Amino acid sequence: MKANTTTRPPAAPATDLNGRTAPAPASPPGRLRRRPAMVLMSVGLTVLGGVLGLTVWMTATNSVEVVAMRAPVDRGGVIVAENLMVVRVSVDPAIQVVPSTQLQSLVGKRAASDLAAGSLVSPAEVTDAIGPATGESIVGIALGTGQLPAEPLRPGDRVRLVLTPAAQGEVVTSQVAIDAVVQGVTSPAADGQTVVVDLVVPAPRAPEVAALAGTGRVALVLDSRER
């Protein structure tokens, strides 16, 4: 027995009211052209987001909290808590820094060099040493206008104490010059003229320096700050 097969005639093309064959609907223009561009843009945004996320993660992973200077401290000055702050930075392992957990250990120590505001603190820049050292003495000298350089003195400056004439026109027959290092400088006195400078001098010459300071016949000469 043969199976009945029915062959369907091809569908007649659509016609309009006038009997004319209507054109097949066209795909919306530009759809196929825009789709690849949108796909590429999506892929690009995904990759960019991944790169940015990786960068942020690596930065957060490599950054550490360290101690930095909130306010400057001159060489020889005592460091107080208000001078310090904690910052998070990415630091090269070759750079020596002080972890934030050790901030309190710096309070009360002295600056071994000038510490600028905003700079990271290195362990080598602080010291426990309290002057004067063995074989040295500290002598305070009150100096006024004409006895000091116009350049403000700072702790650690190398200076020379020089004997000056007692009266105008007097000739100093023996020149006295004593090397010293500035330990500290006080604010000007009430007269706004006199400044007291603490000088570190060799212990054997301390009596001589004190005697000269009492006469007022001395001037302070600032030598090179280059090390």
Cβ proximity of 74 and 155 under 8 Å: yes
User: How many CA atoms lie within 13 Å of 86's alpha carbon, on the beta-carbon side?
Assistant: 9
Q: How far apart are CA 48 and CA 113, in angstroms?
A: 46
Cβ proximity of 144 and 209 under 8 Å: no
Give residue-wise pLDDT tens across range 45-84.
776 776 666 555 555 556 889 999 999 998 778 899 999 9
Which residue(s) pair with 73 in the sheet?
115
Give residue-wise pLDDT tens across range 198-207.
999 999 999 9
Cβ proximity of 180 and 159 under 8 Å: yes
Which residue(s) pair with 65 in the sheet?
88
Q: Which helix (H) or strand (E) holds 172?
A: none
The whole-chain average pLDDT of the chain stands at: 78
Q: How far apart are CA 69 and CA 97, in angstroms?
A: 12
What is the pTM for the complete model shown? Answer: 0.51
85: nearest Cα among 71, 74, 75: 71
Domains of the chain: 63-127 (3.90.1210.10), 136-222 (no CATH)
